[in-house]
Amino acid sequence: MAKEKRLSTTLRKLHYYAVLCPNAISQKAALAALTGPQDCVQKMVTEYTRRRKLVLDQLDKIEYLSYTKPKGTFYVFPNFSTYQKLDKALATHLLKAAGVVTAPGSGFGKAGEGHLRISYSVSYEQVKRARFGMHTKSSFALILSGRQFMTNLRCAYARQPNTPTNFTSK
């Protein structure tokens, strides 16, 4: 990792104390979280399940879109490469056109190229607003009307100078 032995030794110490030796208050907090009342956990699971269902119901409306149903996370990682191979360009467009933030899959490695990470960690109302907001001006229009949105997206990109346009057609 580090070329100089002195720096390497210092970095190892820092790693050891930061990762392997949690302080007492962190240990007590972890114990309280594991042994205390768990009713709030079930409420959170129920709420995240409700948000996930809202997002997945909309994704299911998009023809040729694939994803693995999330089981223990608060995001979904659909593959949009059938429509647009440049995930960064698509994420940027969704942000600018709809105000919807997604993370380009390529940021998670080569296997993520063509994917977008869509989080549902925000409130149900925010997820719902994004969904309907995209229907009228934006990114979940991508989700609500799949193929039609991609047609509109192709046209929008064609009108913009210096924009990659390698959309694939069906």
pLDDT averaged over every residue in the chain: 77
| pLDDT average, residue stretch 79-106 | 86
Residue with tokens 């993370």: 103
Q: What pLDDT score was predicted for residue 159?
A: 45
Task: Enter the pTM of the model.
Answer: 0.63
Q: pLDDT at residue 143 above 80?
A: no
Pairing of strands 116-119, 103-104: antiparallel
Using DSSP's 3-state secondary structure scheme, residue 84 falls into strand
pLDDT in tens, 42-57: 999 999 999 999 999 8
Residue 11 has a pLDDT of 86
The backbone torsions φ and ψ at residue 42, rounded to the nearest 5 degrees and listed phi first, read -65, -35
Q: Do 77 and 159 meet the contact criterion of CB atoms below 8 Å apart?
A: no
Q: In this model, does residue 163 exceed pLDDT 80?
A: no
What secondary structure letter does DSSP report for 110? Answer: G
- Tell me what pLDDT residue 138 has: 39
Q: Under a CB-based contact definition with an 8 Å cutoff, are residues 119 and 52 in contact? A: no
Residue pair 139/152 in contact (Cβ under 8 Å)? The answer is no
Cα distance from N-terminal residue to C-terminal residue, the chain: 47
pLDDT in tens, 2-19: 467 778 888 888 888 877
Domain range 39-159, CATH class: alpha beta
